[in-house]
């Protein structure tokens, strides 16, 4: 086996530039063009992210980084480079992608953090596959496939928007009867506990308080977050000491949400247990407008569970404190 060739900084920049150029020409233009047109004609806000306007398809999340890797693999030529070198190149390409996505297409930073592992994997796979083809066959194969790839991108970019529906349910046990828990279901005071979830610490908004106009069906309810954003809700079902269901009537115009995620409705259910405790259960129904849905739903479900437990644990602590003081009152 031939010895690994040392990759100079100048060569690395050329390789990364080749990968970026290949992905922009083959995959980026079919998405950039309608986004820029929508902004120019007033059909979209200039601050809106590109994916919020034209969609978040597999062409962007899978094909775009794979083409980047393929372009880099072709640019490396027939010289032998180790897996460590190609992995570092893929990581550098991810950094370039994240910076450009924030500056140029106004994508949310947290969304890009979530995407980064997938970007790295696809870039590295594309890089290694292209190098395998270059070394064994030559470059004509890649060039001949470019028109087919472009057609596929155009087709998906103009196809139906992804619409993946899912639900998440979580529960905690409260050492208090439902009557003490219920008082904090429709509304609860501000939760000032510091965020423990690492994505919240990285800047993802987290819930702090919910306020309802009145404890009745049809009432408006606000779920406020630490950054000042809020989800507007309407109570659709209310059975005291048992269940509250609400639908989301408006969600914040936030780069981490718009065009990617839709929170449709939620429910909080109380179950009276034989030992005097209460099982407090939260369920959220939502939709994802991104591909691949399975990958992004893994992250979304985890974030939703963190939101559930922050809210449920706050309700639990308030209800248990009231119940402990009940005899004295």
pLDDT, mean of residues 237-261? 87
Instruction: Check pLDDT > 90 for residue 293.
Output: no
Separation of alpha carbons 196 and 43, rounded Å: 39
Q: Quick one: pLDDT at residue 3? A: 47
Q: Is the pLDDT of residue 40 over 80?
A: no
Task: For residues 31 and 321, give the distance between their C-alpha atoms in angstroms, rounded to a whole number.
Answer: 54
Mean pLDDT of the 91-100 span: 92
**Residue 118 confidence class, pLDDT cut points 50, 70, 90:** very high
Whole-angstrom Cα distance, residue 52 to residue 57? 11
Interatomic CA distance for residues 47 and 2, integer angstroms: 50
Residues 197, 62, 126, 49: what is their CA dihedral angle, to the nearest 10 degrees?
-80
Q: How far is CA 299 from the centre of its chain?
A: 6
Question: Rounded CA gap, 221 and 188, in Å?
Answer: 11
Whole-number pLDDT of residue 222: 95
pLDDT band for position 245 (cuts 50, 70, 90):
very high
Q: Among 47-61, 83-97, 293-307, which stretch is predicted with the lowest mean pLDDT? A: 47-61
Q: Which residues pair with 223 in a beta bridge?
A: 210, 231
Q: Which pLDDT score is estimated for 78?
A: 78
pLDDT value of residue 261 = 84
- Alpha carbon distance 220, 228 (integer Å): 18
Spatial distance between the Cα atoms of 129 and 263, rounded to a whole number of angstroms: 39
Alpha carbons 318 and 182: distance in angstroms, whole number: 11
Residues 6+ apart with CB under 8 A from 90: 69, 72, 120, 123, 124, 127
Residues 6+ apart with CB under 8 A from 13: none
For range 102-114, the mean pLDDT: 79
CA distances to 192, 230, 318 from 187, rounded to whole Å, are 15, 14, 12
Beta carbons of 65 and 117 less than 8 angstroms apart: no
3-state SS of the chain: helix, strand, coil percent to 5?
A: 50, 20, 30
> What fold is seen in the domain 164-325?
Alpha-D-Glucose-1,6-Bisphosphate; Chain A, domain 4 (3.30.530)
Predicted local confidence at residue 54, as pLDDT: 62
- Mean pLDDT on 181-204: 94
* Closest CA relative to residue 48, chosen from 107, 112, 109, 113: 107
Q: What is the pLDDT of residue 1?
A: 43
Q: Check the CA dihedral 87-89-90-92 and report its sign.
A: positive
Query: 110-114, 160-164, 299-303: lowest mean pLDDT where?
Result: 160-164
- Report whether pLDDT(38) > 80: no
Q: Which of 1-10, 19-28, 227-236 has the lowest mean pLDDT?
A: 1-10
Which residue bears the tokens 């009745």?
A: 216
| Mean pLDDT, the chain, integer | 85
The residues of the chain that CATH labels 3.30.530.20 are: 164-325
Strand order in the sheet with 207-212: 164-174, 278-288, 261-272, 243-250, 230-239, 220-225, 207-212
What is the band of 329 on the pLDDT scale with cuts at 50, 70, 90? very low
Q: Is the pLDDT of residue 287 over 90?
A: yes
- Per residue in 195-234, pLDDT tens? 999 999 988 999 999 999 999 999 999 999 998 899 999 9
Highest mean pLDDT, choosing among 45-59, 124-138, 283-297: 283-297
pLDDT at 84: 87
pLDDT at 148 > cutoff 50: yes
What is d(CA 220, CA 290) in angstroms, rounded to the nearest whole number? Answer: 29
Which comes out higher in pLDDT, residue 33 or 69? 69
Determine the pLDDT at residue 131. 84
Say how far apart CA 307 and CA 58 lie, in whole Å.
27
According to the model, what pLDDT value does residue 32 have? 72
Residue with tokens 């129904």: 285
């Amino acid at each position: 086996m031939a010895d690994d060739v040392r990759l100079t900084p100048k060569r690395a920049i050329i390789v990364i530039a080749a990968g970026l150029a290949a992905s922009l020409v083959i995959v980026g233009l079919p998405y950039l063009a309608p986004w820029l047109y929508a902004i120019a004609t007033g059909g979209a806000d200039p601050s809106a992210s590109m994916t919020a306007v034209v969609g978040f398809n597999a062409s962007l999340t899978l094909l775009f980084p794979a083409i980047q890797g393929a372009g880099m693999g072709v640019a490396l030529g027939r010289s032998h480079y180790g897996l460590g070198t190609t992995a570092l190149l893929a990581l550098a390409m991810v950094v370039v992608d994240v910076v450009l996505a924030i500056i140029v297409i106004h994508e949310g930073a947290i969304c890009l953090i979530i995407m980064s592992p997938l970007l790295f994997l696809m870039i590295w796979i594309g890089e290694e596959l292209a190098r395998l083809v270059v070394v064994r066959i030559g470059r004509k194969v890649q060039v001949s496939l470019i028109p087919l790839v472009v057609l596929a991108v155009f087709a998906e970019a103009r196809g139906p928007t992804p619409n993946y529906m899912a639900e998440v349910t979580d529960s905690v046990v409260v050492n208090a009867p439902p009557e003490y828990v219920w008082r904090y279901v429709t509304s609860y005071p501000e939760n000032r506990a510091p965020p423990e979830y690492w994505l919240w610490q990285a800047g993802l908004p987290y819930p702090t308080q919910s306020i309802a106009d009145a404890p009745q069906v049809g009432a408006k309810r606000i779920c406020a977050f630490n950054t000042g954003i809020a989800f507007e809700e309407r109570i659709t079902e209310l059975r005291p000491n048992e269940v509250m269901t609400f639908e989301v009537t408006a969600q914040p115009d936030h780069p981490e949400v718009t065009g990617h995620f839709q929170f449709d409705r939620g429910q909080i259910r109380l179950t009276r247990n034989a030992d005097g405790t209460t099982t407090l259960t939260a369920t959220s129904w939502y939709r994802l407008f991104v591909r691949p849905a399975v990958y992004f739903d893994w992250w979304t479900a985890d974030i939703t569970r963190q939101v559930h437990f922050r809210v449920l644990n706050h309700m639990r602590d308030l209800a248990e404190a009231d119940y402990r003081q009940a005899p004295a009152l």
